[in-house]
Amino acid sequence: MSIIARRILNMEESATLKMANLAWELKDQGKDVISLSLGEPDFNTPQFVKDAAIEAIHNDFTHYPPVPGYKDVRQSICEKFKRDNGLEFTPEQIVISTGAKHSLMNICLALVNPGEEVILPAPYWVSYHAMASFAEAKIVEIKTGIENDFKITPEQLEEALTENSKLFIFSNPCNPSGSVYSKDELIALAQVFEKYPKCYIVSDEIYEHINFDDECFSIGTVESIKDRVITVNGVAKGFAMTGWRIGYLGASKEVASACTKLQGQFTSGANTIAQKATAAAVQADPKKIEEMKQTFLKRRDLVIELLKSIEGLGVNIPKGAFYVFPDVSSYLGKSVNGQTIKTADDLCMYLLEDGLVATTSGESFGCPQNIRISYANSEEQLKEAIKRLKNSLAKLS
């Protein structure tokens, strides 16, 4: 019998990190692997952000910070929320954590009692499922598909919600589908939430700046439900700051202080230098990162065009983030060298072994017919990777 606790034994390993680790291992063995598995911008952190961090070190911001974060940094986050999203918060309603992942885990542990329902529109980001399970939630998935651009309808939401529903968690723009809900679509969902006053809504807007059509509408601005919306964001994606590990949330004072209490026992305040760098990032005009967004847009168009030339793949046009989520069902059940590819997991392993391209299976995102391709990579690598995918897929019959 294992000495490891059941809560860890029962926990799924992060599928995104698992594939990324496999790709790193193969690279270490000298294999020419192209990794399209990890959702990480391939840009470096902007200079003005790095300068703010260096200044913080020189100014001795090296002591324990307040648990929810420095007040001035929380104030900057309030101003960012107002400027970019029309959300009104005071610093008491903001909690800064060690990545948006940490913010999300704080929310799940602070709000969900065992047996309460957490509603996840699928595809969902892998860790939502693991976090909700860890909080012993009853998970209710709402299925979507490529035919409705991976978005749920108000009718589906109405069918899923009950008196026992505690949290609804979604990302907008969505990881992994890249779909973005319009303002009207979100208002229609909010009208359903109005009927379920015990249900909190977690809006994960970490990809807000990588949004190719309109501005990203925040559901937390809808007056009738705004007190129950917890808006999560971070600097990892928009500012290429994945390694700095800063995320934050804006919520009611009650929810923010519960998250602070939890964080005070586990991790304390987030890294001081990274907090000061975050203040510089969120204070900056989003136009400063416009070039990154335009690069992602060009890559999206390239990847879509190349993927469309592969027979049998169903491809939607993502409106944000940096992922495509093709439907690979026509390849499932096919074989190569006596090996049958039964699932999207099998397909991803085959593409890694045969084509040396790392992707992530849709199974852990709640969509077993799909695989996720991250296009946060150079055009040259993307072209080569999709050529390899095409060759490997063509061998299946």
Decide if residue 206 touches ligand PMP (CB under 6 A). Answer: yes
The Cα 280–Cα 55 span in angstroms is 11
Single-letter residue type at 379: E
| E strand map for 152-296 | 165-171, 200-204, 229-234, 247-250
226: which DSSP letter?
A: G
Shortest CB 28 distance to ligand GLU, Å = 19
Shortest CB 100 distance to ligand GLU, Å = 8
Nearer to ligand PMP, 160 or 206 (CB): 206
Nearer to ligand PMP, 106 or 221 (CB): 106
Shortest CB 238 distance to ligand GLU, Å = 13
Structure token pair of residue 303: 């990847």
Residue given tokens 């359903």 in the structure block: 192
The Cα 41–Cα 373 span in angstroms is 13
Name the pairing type of β-strands 339-340 and 357-358.
Answer: unpaired
Decide if residue 208 touches ligand PMP (CB under 6 A). Answer: no
| Cα-trace Rg, the chain | 21
- Residue count at the site for ligand PMP (CB under 6 A)? 13
Decide if residue 39 touches ligand PMP (CB under 6 A). Answer: yes
Name the pairing type of β-strands 94-97 and 165-171.
Answer: unpaired
Three-state SS sequence of 368-385: CCEEEEECCCCHHHHHHH
**Contact region with ligand PMP (CB under 6 A), list: 5-13, 74-82, 96-104, 261-269:** 96-104
Options 185, 204, 208, 363; binder of ligand PMP; rule CB under 6 A? 204
Between the CA of residue 58 and those of 49, 51, 71, what are the distances in Å? 15, 11, 20
**Of ligand PMP, ligand GLU, none, which one does residue 100 interact with (CB within 5 to 8 Å by kind)?**
ligand PMP
Options 20, 22, 100, 199; binder of ligand PMP; rule CB under 6 A? 100
Decide if residue 242 touches ligand PMP (CB under 6 A). Answer: yes
Residue given tokens 């009718």 in the structure block: 155
Alpha carbon distance, N-terminus to C-terminus of the chain: 42
Q: Which of positions 164-183 make contact with ligand PMP (CB under 6 A)?
A: 171, 175
DSSP string, 340-357: E--SHHHHHHHHHHHH-E
Whether the CB-CB separation of 7 and 134 falls below 8 Å is answered with yes
Nearer to ligand PMP, 107 or 206 (CB): 206
172: which DSSP letter?
A: S
Residue given tokens 């309030």 in the structure block: 78
**Contact region with ligand PMP (CB under 6 A), list: 67-75, 88-96, 99-107, 255-263:** 99-107
**Contact region with ligand PMP (CB under 6 A), list: 24-32, 93-101, 148-156, 249-257:** 93-101
Shortest CB 20 distance to ligand GLU, Å = 7
Decide if residue 101 touches ligand PMP (CB under 6 A). Answer: yes
Q: How many other C-beta atoms can be found within 10 angstroms of the C-beta atom of residue 265?
A: 8
Shortest CB 261 distance to ligand PMP, Å = 21
**Of ligand GLU, ligand PMP, none, which one does residue 153 interact with (CB within 5 to 8 Å by kind)?**
none
* Interacting residues with ligand GLU (CB under 6 A): 14, 16-17, 38-40, 101, 127, 175
Nearer to ligand PMP, 360 or 369 (CB): 360
**Of ligand PMP, ligand GLU, none, which one does residue 318 interact with (CB within 5 to 8 Å by kind)?**
none
**Of ligand GLU, ligand PMP, none, which one does residue 247 interact with (CB within 5 to 8 Å by kind)?**
ligand PMP
DSSP string, 121-145: EES--HHHHHHHHHTTPEEEEEE--
Q: Which residues bind ligand PMP (CB under 6 A)?
A: 39, 99-101, 125, 171, 175, 204, 206, 234, 236, 242, 247
